[in-house]
Chain A
Amino acid sequence: AQSVTQLGSHVSVSEGALVLLRCNYSSSVPPYLFWYVQYPNQGLQLLLKYTSAATLVKGINGFEAEFKKSETSFHLTKPSAHMSDAAEYFCAVSARDDKLIFGTGTRLQVFP
């Protein structure tokens, strides 16, 4: 079975600071991993995905994530936070089938 744990339901950073959102997964098969972002009153938008190619994945809006099998992690980072990055971020895992299992989400706040 697959599961995802997102450490920290809320993360606050200053504008220009590093963003680090943590995601650990459990999967019985080599997983596909995804990060989605949800802006207020909107649906989910795909930020990036890992599909067993390069372990360092670059996504939209300057975000990237690194797949570390030894740590079963897929943390999301951005070198410099922008006010527009304030949103809810969800990590999700797929056992290479149709089902996505979502984490509980991390709300990112960015202060000026």
Chain B
Amino acid sequence: AQSVTQPDIHITVSEGASLELRCNYSYGATPYLFWYVQSPGQGLQLLLKYFSGDTLVQGIKGFEAEFKRSQSSFNLRKPSVHWSDAAEYFCAVGPYNTDKLIFGTGTRLQVFP
């Protein structure tokens, strides 16, 4: 079955610390992978996407993610977290035609000063 797993429901980090949010997927075909961020009361905003090519992709707000086919993972990273990064983060996977986009259940990030 096709699925996306975000194992961490809630993560707390100190401002300035590094961050890694985990995403594992199960998908039968070539996956197209996305990370979205949702601030309170807002819709989802695309952070970055992976379709093909370089497995390390850069996104907005200083985020990056690495596609590892052998591990079926697409983890999101940031070297130094800012208080404004506190939000909920969603990983998603789908075909090129994203009508069948599958979302993970999200990871809520809390940042302490």
Q: Do A and B bind each other?
A: no
